[in-house]
Amino acid sequence: MASSEPQNSLVKVDNLTVRFAAKNRGRRSYIEPVRQVSFDIAPGEVLALVGESGSGKTTIGRTLVKVVEPFGGHLYFDGRDITHLGSRAVRSLHSEVQMIFQDPFAALNPTATIQEHLVLPLRVYQRVPSTKLNLRVRELLEQVGLSPAEELRHKYPHELSGGQRQRVVIARSLAANPRFIVADEPVSMLDVSIRADILKILRNLRDSLKISLLYITHDLASARYLSDRITVLYGGQVMEVGTSRDIVKNPRHPYTRLLLAAVPGREGDLPQASEAAPDLSVERQGCPFAPRCPYTMDDCRTGDIPVRSVGSRHQVACLLEETDKDVLASAP
Ligand code: SF4
């Protein structure tokens, strides 16, 4: 049954859990790549989901564009419950919610021109009349810095560079005139030299078009540049939430500090713990970061890890916040 939410957030993820079937030594079992994750995104706000591979960030993005079905919890868009939708309602949602994929080459049809890629969403979602399609295509290409538009519109994806292809993917998402975009590692497969340009385009979507963004990345530095707030994930669970400034300048969770230590120029902030893939089994207990954490206590492995407020918009899921607040401060 549909329910409604207050209108102060455009996107609300409430206690989301995703469960997949998996095979373990030939026997059927289940994993939970996302467990009880909650966050919201205001109109025109950029929220970054930051974490390593296996953190659940891409799966969360896919639930919001209705590619992955939630196992538990609720998803809301503009006050509407979109947790479970039929195919017609999903098509309708995609006029307001779009996704930018990590691999721009795989996201484009190699047999279609750039013009054809942009005309389709203009027709389907915006019902732009044929007489105005060329004009709108040119406007979209110019909006993402692709010029000369008249020349580029007739090209095929293989004739463009990686950066140009990602601009086309962004233009295609804009053709639907969305209010919310999920951008899944949109610069990770691009040359370092053009990443900044793509991030600038995404920031411009927020500043000039007031589009809300969920920016999915493993890179805290780009999250700091692009986002208003950051949610740090590990093993499918939220570790820390705060403004981008608080997360980068005043990280409280050991995992956030580990991520920051990987940012060039910040090496050495924390002793490198041994890496291990997070346990995503349904049976897991305690803090998912315990096998890598330098401060693990007995209770970390078995107990519930409560989320504590450590500032007006800053929350941390770590038992250190209950025991000895000076431990992190005195860390090497
Ligand atoms: Fe480390 Fe325990 Fe905090 Fe988890 S709850 S991050 S294991 S101290």
pLDDT in tens, 205-247: 889 999 999 999 999 999 999 999 999 999 999 999 999 999 9
Single out the residue in 148, 177, 206 at which a domain terminates.
Answer: 177
CA of 40 to the centre of ligand 1 (A): 25
Could you tell me the CA-to-CA distances from 296 to 217, 248, 284, 293 in Å, in that order? 26, 23, 16, 6
Could you tell me the CA-to-CA distances from 229 to 47, 180, 263, 296, 301 in Å, in that order? 5, 16, 18, 27, 29
Please tell me the predicted confidence (pLDDT) of residue 2.
38
Residue 96, pLDDT > 80, answer yes
Q: Is the pTM of this model over 0.85?
A: yes
Please tell me the predicted confidence (pLDDT) of residue 72.
97
Domain CATH code at residue 30: 3.40.50.300
CA of 174 to the centre of ligand 1 (A): 41
Residue at 56: amino acid letter: G
Which ranges in the chain belong to alpha helices (H)?
57-64, 87-93, 104-107, 114-126, 130-143, 149-152, 162-175, 192-209, 220-226, 244-249, 254-261, 298-302, 326-329
Residue at 100: amino acid letter: I
User: Best substitution site from 259, 270, 289 to test ligand 1's pocket, by max atoms within 8 Å of Cβ?
Assistant: 289
- What is the C-alpha separation between 81 and 12, in angstroms, rounded? 9
Q: Which atom of ligand 1 is nearest to the CA of 288?
A: 4
**Same domain for 153 and 79:** no
Could you tell me the CA-to-CA distances from 88 to 2, 4, 61, 80, 85 in Å, in that order? 15, 20, 20, 15, 8
- What is the C-alpha separation between 244 and 97, in angstroms, rounded? 24
Structural domain includes residue 1:
no
Please tell me the predicted confidence (pLDDT) of residue 205.
87
**Same domain for 16 and 151:** no
**Same domain for 74 and 124:** no
**Same domain for 296 and 170:** no
CA of 305 to the centre of ligand 1 (A): 8
Q: Which residue range is the domain that position 269 belongs to?
A: 11-96+179-329
DSSP state of 4: B
pLDDT in tens, 106-133: 899 999 999 999 999 999 999 999 999 9
pLDDT in tens, 174-214: 999 999 999 999 998 888 888 999 999 999 988 999 999 99
Structural domain includes residue 282:
yes
**Same domain for 314 and 200:** yes
- What is the C-alpha separation between 234 and 238, in angstroms, rounded? 7
Give the β-pairing of 237-243 and 72-77.
unpaired
Structural domain includes residue 238:
yes
